[in-house]
């Protein structure tokens, strides 16, 4: 509701008569009603919502916001009028159709937003929203014929929270917050339905299961809108029985081991090599712009995308070259021979040749790549008809049939996994021959972010889903 109709661009009617600055919910209504009556003599208020913005001010701390959106209805037309307010003035209007709420009378709103945000803070220790719906936000609509005002913010655990009041008497009629469900590291034996979850409730963004090491990274205290609150990366030498935190100053976006068991880590703008629990490691790349994509080959050639450029190294990061990306890349890959391959956002496959990029055409014109990975010197492409494999040097194609459409790949060294639609199943894909992919995990009830395997053990990184949960409503005042 906080973002409804904010994408409307051609706003008209630029005048108003309220004072400049932040205003309360009732002040916004009075301002909007004046305009609505000019639109239709029978206009009545239907809903109000504050609008998230970054204009400074108190951001709802005092019950006031800079921006509001109001909707008005009339019994004489099926059209609605949407009035947009910014800094105490009407910044635009729009006539159209939206959800029908019914009439809200101004006289029925006895409690204004400053009164209600104060109660919400007193009763629930409601705090400002940080990552989304920043500050305190407010909505007004009519539920079961009664006007209700909802105050939105975060609870003490930074969970998105809404407290709903009867606008007539100020009683709390509803209180809910979005709680995390699931999340953690799942350990499952291949061929078995049994699994064990550790680090429950955490957002595990990645996992490595390599030789004697197990590494996971993510956020210890995620919220629905952020997984960088308490970032961490840890490793285990005993199959997850105990964990040791590694020294990384920023949240980790990718990690892997080279053949010498040296740990490489990508953060927002940097790449580090040789990180341990006692050693911070060596910085091998630092960029001005965020690193968007990272890939590494079996022999640890590395490629990253940042701000429409590919930075790549074939000597473990001792020196770097760069190339301009001709079109925005969805994926970048680097082979053992140092070949660069990209999948564009337009589903075109491009391979770097000398100073330019050449398109690799699919064997069938109707095929459209869904995802792409390079392992050793072979290109793997998943489409709706199956998985296609091409040797980058020889150029010949072969196909692997699949029982379900693989929409996304996960590459772990020479191992390749695939997600189905909505991540409902995980398949292991043999990269040596043309056997059909094997389903290794039913992920219907999980939000999977990464997967790896060690021997006959599967390690699955998951993040929480979020669901509204009722909170206790205090006795009436």
- Quick: pLDDT tens for 258-270: 988 899 999 999 9
Answer for the pair 462, 184: CB distance below 8 angstroms, yes or no: yes
Closest CA to 4 of 110, 94, 86: 94
SS3 106: helix
pLDDT of residue 432: 84
pLDDT of residue 83: 96
Q: Could you count the other beta carbons within 10 Å of the beta carbon of residue 74?
A: 18
CA Rg value for the chain: 27
pLDDT of residue 20: 57
Closest CA to 141 of 117, 185, 173, 119: 173
Structure tokens at 339: 């070949």
How far apart are the C-alpha atoms of 74 and 39, rounded to whole Å?
Answer: 10
H or E stretch covering 84: strand 77-86
Answer for the pair 42, 76: CB distance below 8 angstroms, yes or no: yes
How far apart are the C-alpha atoms of 380 and 431, rounded to whole Å?
Answer: 9
Structure tokens at 401: 């049939």
DSSP class of residue 474 equals: P
Structure tokens at 457: 């053990």
Q: Could you count the other beta carbons within 10 Å of the beta carbon of residue 468?
A: 12
Answer for the pair 255, 215: CB distance below 8 angstroms, yes or no: yes
DSSP class of residue 39 equals: H
Closest CA to 468 of 221, 171, 164, 160: 160
List, for the chain, all residue ranges whose pLDDT scores fall below the cut of 70.
1-20, 475-477
How far apart are the C-alpha atoms of 149 and 354, rounded to whole Å?
Answer: 63
SS3 150: strand
How far apart are the C-alpha atoms of 207 and 415, rounded to whole Å?
Answer: 13
How far apart are the C-alpha atoms of 331 and 314, rounded to whole Å?
Answer: 19
Answer for the pair 110, 21: CB distance below 8 angstroms, yes or no: no
In the sheet with 386-391, reading across from the earlier edge strand, the strands are: 371-375, 378-383, 386-391, 397-400
Closest CA to 248 of 223, 225, 260, 265: 265
How far apart are the C-alpha atoms of 152 and 126, rounded to whole Å?
Answer: 8
Closest CA to 86 of 57, 124, 129: 57
pLDDT of residue 9: 29
Q: What is the distance between the terminal CA atoms of the chain, rounded to a whole angstrom?
A: 29
How far apart are the C-alpha atoms of 109 and 208, rounded to whole Å?
Answer: 56
How far apart are the C-alpha atoms of 124 and 137, rounded to whole Å?
Answer: 15
Answer for the pair 343, 327: CB distance below 8 angstroms, yes or no: no
Please classify residue 76 by burial: count the beta carbons closer than 10 Å to its beta carbon, then call 0-12 exposed, 13-18 middle and 19+ buried. exposed
How far apart are the C-alpha atoms of 43 and 329, rounded to whole Å?
Answer: 50
pLDDT of residue 374: 96
Residues sharing a CB contact under 8 Å with residue 363, sequence separation 6 or more, in sequence order: 388, 397, 399
Q: Where are the beta strands (DSSP E) in 167-243?
A: 172-181, 184-189, 195-198, 203-210, 213-219, 231-236
| pTM of the entire predicted model | 0.81
Structural domains in the chain, CATH included, are 25-178 (no CATH), 181-466 (2.130.10.10)
SS3 164: strand
Residue 266's DSSP bridge partners are 254, 271
pLDDT of residue 477: 52
CA 12 to chain centre: 33
SS3 118: helix
Q: Could you count the other beta carbons within 10 Å of the beta carbon of residue 314?
A: 19
């Amino acid at each position: 509701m906080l973002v409804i109709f904010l994408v409307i661009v051609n706003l008209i009617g630029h005048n108003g008569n309220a004072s400049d600055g932040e205003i309360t919910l009732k002040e916004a209504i009075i301002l909007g009603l004046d305009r609505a009556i000019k639109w239709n003599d029978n206009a009545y208020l239907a809903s109000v919502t504050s609008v998230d913005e970054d204009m400074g001010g108190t951001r709802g701390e005092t019950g006031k916001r800079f921006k509001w959106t109001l909707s008005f209805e009339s019994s004489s037309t099926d059209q609605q009028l949407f009035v947009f307010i910014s800094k105490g003035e009407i910044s635009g209007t729009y006539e159209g159709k939206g959800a029908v709420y019914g009439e809200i009378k101004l006289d029925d709103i006895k409690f204004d937003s400053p009164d209600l945000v104060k109660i919400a803070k007193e009763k629930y220790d409601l705090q400002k929203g940080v990552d989304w719906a920043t500050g305190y936000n407010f909505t007004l609509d009519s539920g079961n014929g009664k006007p209700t005002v909802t105050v939105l913010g975060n609870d003490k655990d930074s969970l998105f929270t809404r407290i709903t009041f009867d606008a007539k008497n100020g009683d709390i009629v509803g209180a809910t917050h979005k709680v995390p469900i699931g999340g953690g590291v799942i350990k499952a034996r291949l061929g078995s339905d049994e699994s064990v979850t550790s680090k429950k409730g955490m957002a595990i963004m990645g996992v490595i299961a390599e030789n004697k090491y197990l590494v996971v990274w993510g956020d210890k205290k995620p919220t629905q809108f952020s997984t960088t609150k308490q970032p961490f990366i840890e490793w285990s030498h005993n199959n997850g029985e105990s964990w040791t935190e590694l020294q990384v100053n920023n949240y980790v976006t990718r990690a892997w081991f080279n053949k010498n068991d040296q740990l490489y880590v990508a953060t927002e703008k940097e790449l580090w090599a040789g990180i341990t629990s006692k050693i911070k490691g060596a910085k091998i790349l630092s960029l001005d712009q965020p690193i968007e994509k990272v890939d590494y080959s079996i022999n640890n050639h590395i490629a990253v995308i940042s701000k429409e450029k590919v930075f790549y190294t074939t000597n473990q990061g001792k020196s770097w070259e760069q190339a301009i990306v001709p079109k925005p890349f969805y994926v970048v890959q680097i082979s053992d021979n140092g070949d660069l391959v990209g999948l564009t956002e337009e589903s075109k496959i491009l391979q770097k040749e000398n100073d330019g990029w050449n398109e690799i055409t699919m064997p069938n014109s109707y095929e459209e790549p869904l995802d792409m990975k390079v392992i050793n010197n072979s290109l793997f492409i998943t489409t709706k008809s199956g998985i296609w494999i091409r040797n980058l040097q020889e150029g010949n194609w072969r196909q692997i049939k699949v029982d379900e459409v693989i929409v996304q790949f996960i590459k772990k060294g020479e191992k390749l996994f695939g997600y189905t639609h909505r991540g409902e199943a995980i398949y292991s894909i043999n990269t040596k021959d043309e056997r059909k992919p094997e389903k290794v995990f039913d992920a219907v009830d999980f939000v999977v972010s990464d997967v790896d395997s060690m021997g006959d053990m599967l390690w699955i990184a998951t993040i929480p889903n979020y669901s509204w949960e009722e909170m206790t409503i205090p006795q009436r005042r």
